[in-house]
Amino acid sequence: MQALALRSVVPDGRTSLTPRQLIWRGRVRPLLQSQTYELHLTARPARPPKVTVTAPALQPDGAGRLPHVYDDGSLCVSQFGDWQPHMLFTATFLPWSCEWLVYYELWLATGLWFGDGPDRLDQASQAQILHPFRA
């Protein structure tokens, strides 16, 4: 089900499926003016998947940090309860990662992360979302 839905959005994406794991790789372009990125999604049954950007390499700030990433370099695009096992990745983690990429490009250009809303643009809020990044 997840694999079919992913193929309908990214026809040339590659999926490998085992009983315990789904691995998907595909290229996305979140907006007309965005770059094209290759995403890597790994999912285990009933658990939220992990999404990483495999190309082009993400560019952390001077202190080696990126907004909203986990220790392992995957994108932190949800909070507990946002995703339920019945939800398709094509309506959740895939577009959420695409959103992350748009906000990431804006962050590179302006130093501001717009993804948490207009009332989170103050310096203190912006500083709190940066996390050490390991590719």
Partner 1 sequence: MYQKWYATAVTTTVAHRVAGSLDTLIHDGLRALDITATERERVVSRYTQLGEALDEHWIATRGDNSISPQGSFALGTVVRNVHRSDDIDIDCVALKDVAKASVGQAELKADVGIAARKYARSACSGGPELSQCSRCWTLSWPGMHLDILPAIPNDDAGGSNIWITDREVSRWLPSNPGGYADWFRGRMHAQLLHERAVEAKRLEVEDVPEWQVRTVLQRVVQALKRHRDIYFSDRLDERPSSIVITTLAAHAYTGSGDLYEVLRNLPAEMARHLTRVQGRWTLPNPVQDGENFTDSWASEPERAEYFFEWVEEAERTFRSFGMSKGLERTLPLLESAFGSRFATAASASLGQSLFGARQRGQLYVGNRGTLSAATGGVAAGSYSVKGHRFGGGPTR
Q: Is 17 helix (H, G, I), strand (E, B) or coil?
A: strand
Q: Which of 128, 132, 134, 135 binds partner 1 (CB under 8 A)?
A: 128
Least Cβ distance, residue 19 to partner 1 (angstroms): 26
61-82 per-residue burial string, b: 16 or more CB within 10 A, e: under 16: eeeeebbbbeeebbbbbeeeee
Is 31 a binder of partner 1 (CB under 8 A)? yes
Is 54 a binder of partner 1 (CB under 8 A)? no
Segment holding 117, helix H or strand E: none
Nearest C-alpha neighbor of 42 from the set 75, 67, 10: 75
Is 32 a binder of partner 1 (CB under 8 A)? yes
Q: Categorise residue 117: left if φ over 0, alpha if ψ from -120 to 50, beta otherwise.
A: left
Q: Which of 16, 21, 54, 110 binds partner 1 (CB under 8 A)?
A: 110
Q: In the complex, which residues of this chain contact partner 1 (CB under 8 A)?
A: 5, 8-11, 26-36, 39, 67-68, 70, 76-79, 82-83, 87-88, 90-92, 94-100, 102-103, 105-106, 108-110, 112, 114-118, 120-121, 124-125, 128-131
